[in-house]
Amino acid sequence: MKNTIVIGTRSSKLALWQADYVAGCLGEKYPGITIEKKLMTTRGDKILDAPLAKIGGKGLFTKELEQAMLAGEIDLAVHSLKDMPAEVPKGLRLAAVTKRADPGDAVVSPKYGRFSDLPEGARVGTSSLRRKAQLLHARPDLRIFDLRGNVNTRLRKLEEEHFDAIILAVAGLKRLGFGERITEVLPRSVMLPAVGQGALAIETRAGDAETQELIGFLNDPGTACCARAERAFLTRVEGGCQVPVGVYATPAGDEGLQVEAVIASLDGQRLYRDSLTGSRDEAEQHGTEIAERLLAAGGLEILHELGLLLERYTR
């Protein structure tokens, strides 16, 4: 067994919480092991003055960690699963998915108790096109503004920039001790989460069987199965941070799996949503199938339009 494990992580407070959680689990399981952390800054951490859709997709928060792993500088990287691209780079492996925390999206508002209480024309902050599209579908009157930065920064901007509300992941708020700031968790009927939201991903080198064996106990089979369905959906629609899609898979019965997904236009006026239930053994197929259904229903047209918009936007 390895005597030392080097964990790569971003340096934000939430990323450090995630790395410390994994380190704590490893230390408890293997009392004699030495665990080191290597803090890194990703491109997504550096560029805070532009919307995510303008500067790129999910790889913004993982690429530097993956390069360090391929170079042998770290043994594993801990990510929020929702930040991982649908395709894992050659030479690397998504080796474990932890038990999922609450995957929901939270309303944080200093003045209003619920989403329905927001006044007409309320200022709402979010950096996610997925959230923007679903919010506008439910409330076309809202004014949505881009909001970048880590959790602490976004909470500070809530008051400094006079937002009526901001939308953040429930899991991140609770992990950092801000659970009391949540005024409402949006129901799934209003807001489907991002792929893997609430779960942590542990990535290793593909050939590093020793590290994979060490972290195997952290993999939650139920969450991993749901993640396979959700990531297959993402792969089929070729989505990332810059595409307004949501998907949520949950266990159904002893061996079943329910998958619900949405593709929406940026203005929320067109929204295609569907669900299916099948066997867990065919998780990837179910994710692909529901993607095909939504693309055929009108989602493909939305994605084509969005691609042209983003091409103009990023020139």
The 10s digit of each residue's pLDDT in 173-195 is 999 999 999 999 999 999 999 99
Inform me whether the pLDDT recorded for 145 exceeds 50. Answer: yes
Candidates 75, 83, 105, 164; catalytic one: 83
Over residues 273-298, mean pLDDT:
96
Q: What's the pLDDT score for residue 51?
A: 53
Which pLDDT band holds residue 301 (cuts at 50, 70, 90)?
very high
CATH topology of domain 105-185: D-Maltodextrin-Binding Protein; domain 2 (3.40.190)
Tell me 282's DSSP state: G
Q: What is the spatial distance between Cα 261 and Cα 275, in angstroms, rounded to a whole number?
A: 6
The C-alpha atoms of residue 163 and residue 157 are separated, in whole angstroms, by: 8
CA distance 13 to 157: 17
What distances in angstroms separate CA 230 from CA 166, 196, 210, one per listed residue?
25, 7, 28
Among 77, 99, 101, which residue's Cα sits nearest to residue 225? 99
Mean pLDDT of 192-208: 96
**Phi/psi class of residue 56: alpha, beta or left (left: φ > 0; alpha: ψ in -120 to 50)?**
left
- Alpha carbon distance 127, 240 (integer Å): 13
For residue 83, indicate whether it is catalytic: yes
Question: Which fold does the domain 220-315 belong to in CATH?
Answer: Double Stranded RNA Binding Domain (3.30.160)
- Nearest CA to 191 among 306, 104, 83? 104
Span(s) in the chain for CATH 3.40.190.10: 1-98+199-219, 105-185
User: Is the pLDDT reported for residue 155 higher than 70?
Assistant: yes
- 0.75 cut: is pTM over it? yes
Superfamily of domain 1-98+199-219: Periplasmic binding protein-like II (3.40.190.10)
Residues of the chain with CATH 3.30.160.40: 220-315
Average pLDDT, integer, range 23-46: 86
